[in-house]
């Protein structure tokens, strides 16, 4: 092939073309394709994050639904326990409740007073309070007393009798004088 | 051979030079390359738009799911609290000591020649032990023997239900006064029994029966 001799003008034009080419490449990658690829990459990462969050939350919701099924019995029981606490301050309703309870079983003149009120040590029972009550039964027959205590223990699952003192009444040996110390777990309201 | 004369030599050369102009060729090459780059950019932009629409869909789904998840997490925490609370309360109910069956057993052991005048019982801390003090009078020709008989019977009866039963005399003393028992003047003795035992489970079902038994025995 016969080599061509380029004129000065042609060399200048070639140089100009090469410069244009470089400028085009630079602008294209820096101002067009680069930012576009960057945006796309960040969007892919964002999609992955959102997808992970959505998937994990769906799993969480499924777990909660399973937990709901498992906790059905516990929820029922918990509601029953909560129902043992009446509205208002316990000092206002517990003594009349005890008076009425024992009166129904033939034991009258019953009095109950609050000895102490403390929180439970267990963190699971942070919503509950442990009240200690002194219940005095000044006159009771032994049979009535036994029946009443059995009824009390069966009907009040969150009541625990800690201390029982029974004394025969000296003037009337048929009757006993009874003092009970009972602990109750009551819902904080 | 015919002689050919190119009279337009200069014009043709000029034309050729114009065609081979490097600037013109460079611009053409640049335009072609630019068009290729533009097409490539277009393809990339299309993919980016597609990804953006996927992102929008994912974000929309997340926005739809997020309140449900927050509610579910709150409910799960609530349920765990309920389950744990119920477990602890159930444990407390399971471990509590039922006094009615114990009182029934004591009443079964009291013979007609014996009178229990005082009963003082406590559930000791931790619910692992119950301590009871029983005070009473025994009347018989041998009042101490009657009191001992009561102690043994009580031990036997309690051992059927409870563990680690110990029934011991704290006091046993003859009284100078006699007791009228069925019209007969009988010597008597005063006793205080100390009763200790570990309560066992399974008292709940017996509670009702025991109450009835107490009522019958009186």
CATH number, domain of B179, equals: 3.30.70
The 10s digit of each residue's pLDDT in B191-208 is 999 999 998 654 444 444
Q: Same structural domain for residues A101 and A180?
A: yes
CB B209 within 8 A of CB B161: no
The 10s digit of each residue's pLDDT in B89-99 is 999 898 889 99
Q: Same structural domain for residues A133 and A159?
A: yes
Contacting B residues, span 151-190, partner chain A, CB-CB under 8 Å: none
Q: Same structural domain for residues B88 and B120?
A: no
pLDDT attached to residue A147: 93
Residue-number span of the structural domain to which A91 is assigned: 87-187
Reported residue count of chain B is 218
Residue-number span of the structural domain to which B132 is assigned: 99-217
- Answer whether A10 sits within 8 Å of B22, measured CB to CB: yes
Q: Same structural domain for residues A53 and A124?
A: no
Q: Same structural domain for residues A53 and A94?
A: no
- Is A3 strand, coil or helix? coil
* B83 lies within 8 A of chain A by CB: yes
Comparing B204 with B57, the larger pLDDT belongs to: B57
- Answer whether B99 sits within 8 Å of A164, measured CB to CB: yes
Asked if this assembly's ipTM is beyond 0.90, the reply is no
Q: Is residue A96 part of a domain?
A: yes
Return d(Cα B157, Cα B210) in angstroms, integer.
13
- Is A5 strand, coil or helix? coil
Q: How many domains does chain A have?
A: 2
Q: Same structural domain for residues A168 and A98?
A: yes
CA distance B35 to chain A (A): 11
CB B180 within 8 A of CB A130: no
Q: Same structural domain for residues A50 and A98?
A: no
CA distance A86 to chain B (A): 18
* A63 lies within 8 A of chain B by CB: yes
Global pTM value: 0.71
Structure tokens at A151: 């009824």
Strand partners, A181: A134, A163
Q: What is the mean pLDDT of chain B?
A: 85
Residues of B with CB below 8 A from A173's CB?
115
The number of CA neighbours under 13 Å toward the Cβ of A156 is 21
pLDDT band at B185 (very low <50, low <70, confident <90, very high): confident
CB B191 within 8 A of CB B172: yes
Q: Same structural domain for residues A182 and A113?
A: yes
- Answer whether A150 sits within 8 Å of B100, measured CB to CB: yes
Q: Same structural domain for residues B164 and B115?
A: yes
* A22 lies within 8 A of chain B by CB: no
Q: Is residue B46 part of a domain?
A: yes
């Amino acid at each position: 092939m016969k080599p061509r001799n380029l004129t000065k003008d042609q060399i200048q034009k070639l140089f100009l073309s090469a410069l244009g080419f470089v400028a085009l490449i630079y602008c294209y990658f820096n101002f067009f394709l680069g930012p576009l690829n960057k945006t796309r990459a960040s969007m892919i990462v964002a999609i992955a994050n959102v997808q992970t969050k959505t998937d994990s939350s769906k799993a969480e919701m499924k777990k909660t639904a399973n937990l709901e099924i498992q906790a059905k019995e516990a929820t029922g029981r918990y509601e029953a326990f909560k129902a043992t606490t009446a509205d208002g301050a316990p000092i206002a309703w517990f003594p009349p409740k005890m008076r009425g309870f024992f009166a129904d079983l033939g034991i009258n003149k019953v009095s109950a007073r609050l000895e102490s009120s403390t929180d439970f040590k267990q963190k699971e029972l942070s919503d509950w309070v442990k009240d200690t009550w002194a219940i005095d039964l000044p006159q009771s027959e032994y049979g009535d007393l036994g029946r009443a205590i059995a009824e009390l223990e069966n009907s009040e699952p969150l009541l625990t009798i800690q201390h029982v003192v029974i004394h025969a009444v000296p003037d009337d040996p048929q009757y006993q004088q009874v003092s009970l110390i009972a602990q109750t777990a009551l819902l904080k309201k | 051979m015919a002689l050919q004369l190119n009279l337009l030599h200069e014009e043709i050369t000029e034309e050729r030079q114009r065609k081979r102009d490097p600037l013109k060729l460079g611009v053409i090459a640049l335009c072609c390359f630019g068009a290729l780059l533009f097409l490539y950019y277009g393809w990339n932009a299309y993919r980016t738009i597609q990804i953006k629409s996927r992102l929008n869909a994912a974000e929309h789904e997340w926005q739809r799911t997020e309140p449900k998840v927050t509610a579910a997490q709150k409910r799960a925490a609530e349920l765990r609290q309920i389950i744990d609370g119920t477990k602890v309360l159930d444990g407390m109910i399971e471990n509590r000591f039922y006094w009615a069956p114990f009182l029934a057993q004591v009443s079964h052991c009291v013979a007609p020649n014996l009178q229990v005048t005082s009963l003082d019982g406590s559930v000791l801390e931790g619910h692992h032990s119950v301590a009871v003090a029983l005070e009473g009078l025994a009347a018989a020709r041998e009042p101490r023997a009657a009191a001992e008989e009561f102690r043994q019977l009580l031990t036997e009866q309690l051992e059927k239900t409870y563990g680690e039963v110990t029934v011991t005399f704290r006091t046993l003393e003859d009284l100078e006064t006699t007791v009228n028992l069925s019209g007969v003047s009988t010597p008597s003795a005063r006793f205080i029994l100390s009763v200790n035992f570990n309560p066992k489970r399974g008292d709940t079902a017996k509670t009702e029966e025991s109450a009835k038994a107490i009522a019958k025995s009186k």
